[in-house]
Amino acid sequence: MGETMALEIPEDMGDLFYFSRRAMGDGKAMAWVYRPKCPECGKAKMGKPVNEKTGRAKIRAKEYVCPECNHTVPKEEFEETCQMEVVYTCPHCGKNGEAHTHYKLKSFEGVKAYVFECEGCGKKIGITKKMKAPKKKK
């Protein structure tokens, strides 16, 4: 990747909602979603509610909460406003590139995936959930 990257690769996983590194045939991708600031107070970054007993974030929470002002937003509504950033090597044309896409799973070749387009060849590329492979065309 000889060009200068416009996207800033995250250094602290605590700033992220999502991070993934995937091999996709002859290509690869690294994708992440930064935790945005609270839309209400703007002081803290939104996150999942914390379990008072364990002090850890609830795994399957249905909402996101600001730790500063306790502003709550439903999960689906909040995730639709988040942007995923991707640095990739296209499995179709081999070009290195960067992309932005919505943090929303879509149907892609028979499985749920975060989908973006290659800036080189224009073909769609999907980042699937772990251990899920796109279905082969017959």
Which neighbouring-strand residues pair with 65? 47, 72
- Domain borders along the chain are 22-35+82-138, 37-81
pTM of the model: 0.78
Task: Tell me the C-alpha distance between 45 and 35, whole Å.
Answer: 6
The alpha-carbon radius of gyration of the chain (Å, integer) is 17
pLDDT score of 138 more than 70? no
Pairing between β-strand 106-108 and β-strand 111-117 as defined by DSSP bridges: antiparallel
pLDDT score of 131: 60
pLDDT score of 137 more than 70? no
